[in-house]
A and B are shown apart, each in its own frame.
Chain A
Amino acid sequence: RKEVEQDPGPFNVPEGATVAFNCTYSNSASQSFFWYRQDCRKEPKLLMSVYSSGNEDGRFTAQLNRASQYISLLIRDSKLSDSATYLCVVPVMDSNYQLIWGAGTKLIIKP
């Protein structure tokens, strides 16, 4: 099993809809996880961090389910500009300096 797994999609979603996708992980006792956003042929950029208590930033909500070992990202009232690939990132156990990256979930928002 891969250490970090994501549904590659693409998720085709109409503008204004709510969309959610998950990321499953193994072997991490970290207290925080991360979602990055990557536009086509661009560099990744941090979208938000995910803590045990979850995190909300405007239309974006991230949750952590430690018992089932997954994190989720919910996007409400989706915009055309939300079209991107969303990367799940998990810290490596016993390391302060290394992260494991999922392959990403591609999201396409349609007008």
Chain B
Amino acid sequence: NAGVTQTPKFQVLKTGQSMTLQCAQDMNHEYMSWYRQDPGMGLRLIHYSVGAGITDQGEVPNGYNVSRSTTEDFPLRLLSAAPSQTSVYFCASSYSSGLVNTGELFFGEGSRLTVL
């Protein structure tokens, strides 16, 4: 199994450009999520999904859109990139929607985004 696959691993954008970070998992996980990680801060939840067709906002959703048309895929779209969105982005999935019980998230390798 490949686990959680994110692409691209690196991306440089100019302010105002849009792009999509791809995330796919082959573990038939119900739960998928996107986090961003910035220096000196904990991972912050952007959006999450508990199943195909269901998405919800996390802590820092502004400037990002998601969709979940299949169980496997959960792309993250940056609508109009800003320098404040320079970060490392992680996609994560979990077998169980009840994270309070298991807490086990499986992460992709991360996507490093720089917005100039």
- Which residue numbers of A lie inside 8 Å of B, CB to CB? 4, 8, 30-34, 41-46, 49, 87, 89, 91, 95-104
CB of B103 within 8 A of CB of A97, answer: no
CA distance A44 to B109 in the complex (A): 9
CA distance A32 to B96 in the complex (A): 15
CB of A89 within 8 A of CB of B103, answer: yes
Q: Which residues of chain B come closer than 8 Å to A103, judged between CB atoms?
A: 40-42
- Which residue numbers of B lie inside 8 Å of A, CB to CB? 31, 35, 40-45, 48, 50, 56, 58-59, 90, 97-105, 107-110
CB of B110 within 8 A of CB of A43, answer: yes
Q: List 20 A-B contacts (CB under 8 A).
A: A4-B42, A30-B100, A32-B101, A32-B103, A33-B103, A34-B103, A42-B110, A43-B107, A43-B110, A44-B107, A49-B103, A87-B43, A95-B100, A97-B48, A97-B50, A98-B45, A98-B48, A99-B99, A100-B42, A101-B43
Given contacts A87-B42, A103-B42, A104-B42, contact A97 B109 (CB under 8 A): no
* Inter-chain residue pair count (beta carbon < 8 A): 64
CA distance A51 to B31 in the complex (A): 23
Contact of A32 among B44, B100, B110 (CB under 8 A): B100
CA distance A103 to B38 in the complex (A): 9
Select the residue from B42, B44, B90 with max chain A CB neighbours within 10 A: B42
Q: How far is the CB of A22 from chain B (nearest CB, A)?
A: 15
- A50 and chain B: residue at smallest CB distance: B103
Q: How far is the CB of A39 from chain B (nearest CB, A)?
A: 11
Q: How far is the CB of B95 from chain A (nearest CB, A)?
A: 12
CA distance A89 to B50 in the complex (A): 20
Q: Which residues of chain B come closer than 8 Å to A98, judged between CB atoms?
A: 45, 48, 58-59, 99
